[in-house]
Structure 1
């Protein structure tokens, strides 16, 4: 039996993560020639090209895309196995890559990470904040926060709690345009649309008794960040459907008013996502346990 070329698989994963041979070489502390030889060796062994190479661009082939996740798993589990062997002799240390939605990351994750790094001074953090979909495996993310209804996936997910959504607008807007009594009424309102969903122009609702409604909405603002809507909302220019952590303070202060409160906007939840596999470095396990406890409390407080 011929053993797999584990070194070549790990180098392939590094090239995918850093999107270049030179970037992978620098990250791994080896020469670019070593990286190139390992990729060529793996391609010859597999009998297929893993990358399309030009002088300006490096792109995965169809075969390469299909194997990238497995390669990342080999590298991650190898790193985790080595770290587990040393864990009893040292505190968790090293780099953890985290991805999270922009507003949630600034308001809630940032303060939590400050506390976490105080407890674990040997851990460094690479925090990437964006409301756009992040390829956790392809970009080498260790932990991701997602606020959504999750599709089936090979990723590991831990649901930390529910996230409620509210249809909100300024009281002055509702005095002028009328308060909707049924989701269908929103079709005639100036709706601010959050675009980072699969169907941003259709808002779906469910009532406790089981009644469902879907309405096509339109309005003067479209954006991929909910926080950016707030000034125009508070100025009375329209309505939006936003998560509780964005609007609770505004509702309590009276600058925004929630309507259609007997309708639910869906089963969105706060999730902690990690790549496939069961072996994880001690630094990642420490972060997962810390965030799980901290963010679960946040969901309870927001409920």
Structure 2
């Protein structure tokens, strides 16, 4: 059944006229007349008595009109509730992100989000491997690094510096390194969560570039574990600025080859393509972007900061 016909019939019964019903509905009188006739054929009953002066419901029409009015009112309330729900964050928000960024940045934002929107429940899945958003189980993914082509929608919300760091136990050997080629003799902790954990491109302010391939003495597949190994003297490694910023400021890590820079990476919010973005996703993104904008600079250089 075409439910629009209920609205056409109700308008005619309320106004007692096809002409006035058409004016209320802002459609032609012919359309109203045709659709009401189709409704009568569908229900197998005459709903309206048509005279030259007035149109009025039959006995069956009066009973049907009462039901139609209730149905149309409930439909209007349902749309109203849906619109209100779309404007106010609610329900379960499922987010996935890499371990390091999730622990340092997302956990505080999730905590603040939950306090601000208690009607929302947040599920945060931290994993250094990329999870598939097309399964429908994830509302939002945070990808740190370089995006691959996909059917997903993405928004760049910030950026980060890659920093070559080492622990104080290696301070003397770190101080002796002047060029990227000098790194060959130093122990290196490879982050196997990366596609190219051993190949690194360095650039200097004068435009000079060097590419070096390092040899791993230790290989680990999660970034927080790589950091732990570096802190206790296991070797050098390349880590994102948001993870090592406080440790560098406290002297618990050392910046290796500070005159040379590694490529900066992007921080992206990624979500399945959709015409409408749920309010819970929009609200969380706004808080995350604000957190990125407030991120302090890294000692010895400015953080790339957030993007709009």
Give the equivalent residue in structure 1 for 2:82. 86
**Contact between 1:87 and 1:282, CA under 8 Å: does it hold in 2?**
no
**Contact between 1:180 and 1:260, CA under 8 Å: does it hold in 2?**
yes
- Relative to structure 1, the CA distance from residue 276 to residue 91 in structure 2 (aligned partners, 3 Å threshold; closer, same or farther) is closer
Q: Tell me how far 1:293 sits from its aligned partner.
A: 1.9
TM-score norm. by structure 2 comes to 0.65
Corresponding residue to 2:176 among 169, 179, 188: 179
Aligned pairs for 1:1-303 (under 5 A) are 86-88=82-84, 91-138=88-135, 140-176=137-173, 179-298=176-295, 303=303
- Relative to structure 1, the CA distance from residue 132 to residue 187 in structure 2 (aligned partners, 3 Å threshold; closer, same or farther) is same
For residues 241 and 151 of structure 1, the distance between their equivalents in structure 2, rounded to whole angstroms, comes to: 21
**Contact between 1:160 and 1:296, CA under 8 Å: does it hold in 2?**
no
For residues 157 and 119 of structure 1, the distance between their equivalents in structure 2, rounded to whole angstroms, comes to: 25
- Relative to structure 1, the CA distance from residue 85 to residue 263 in structure 2 (aligned partners, 3 Å threshold; closer, same or farther) is farther
TM-score norm. by structure 1 comes to 0.66
- Relative to structure 1, the CA distance from residue 128 to residue 139 in structure 2 (aligned partners, 3 Å threshold; closer, same or farther) is farther
Alignment RMSD: 2.5
Q: Matched residue pairs, number?
A: 222
For residues 91 and 294 of structure 1, the distance between their equivalents in structure 2, rounded to whole angstroms, comes to: 21
Of 89-98 and 99-108, more deviation after overlay is shown by 89-98
Q: Tell me how far 1:184 sits from its aligned partner.
A: 2.0
Q: Which runs of 5+ in 2 are unaligned?
A: 1-77, 304-308
- Relative to structure 1, the CA distance from residue 91 to residue 171 in structure 2 (aligned partners, 3 Å threshold; closer, same or farther) is closer
CA deviation digits over 1:175-195, x for unaligned, max 9? Answer: 146532122222222111111
- Relative to structure 1, the CA distance from residue 267 to residue 164 in structure 2 (aligned partners, 3 Å threshold; closer, same or farther) is closer
- Relative to structure 1, the CA distance from residue 209 to residue 109 in structure 2 (aligned partners, 3 Å threshold; closer, same or farther) is same
For residues 283 and 174 of structure 1, the distance between their equivalents in structure 2, rounded to whole angstroms, comes to: 47
3-state SS, counterpart of residue 184 of structure 2: helix
For residues 224 and 264 of structure 1, the distance between their equivalents in structure 2, rounded to whole angstroms, comes to: 24
- Relative to structure 1, the CA distance from residue 83 to residue 117 in structure 2 (aligned partners, 3 Å threshold; closer, same or farther) is farther
For residues 105 and 80 of structure 2, the distance between their equivalents in structure 1, rounded to whole angstroms, comes to: 30
3-state SS, counterpart of residue 137 of structure 1: helix
**Contact between 2:173 and 2:186, CA under 8 Å: does it hold in 1?**
no
CA deviation digits over 1:148-174, x for unaligned, max 9? Answer: 022333322222222112111123313
Q: Which runs of 5+ in 1 are unaligned?
A: 1-81
- Relative to structure 1, the CA distance from residue 271 to residue 234 in structure 2 (aligned partners, 3 Å threshold; closer, same or farther) is same
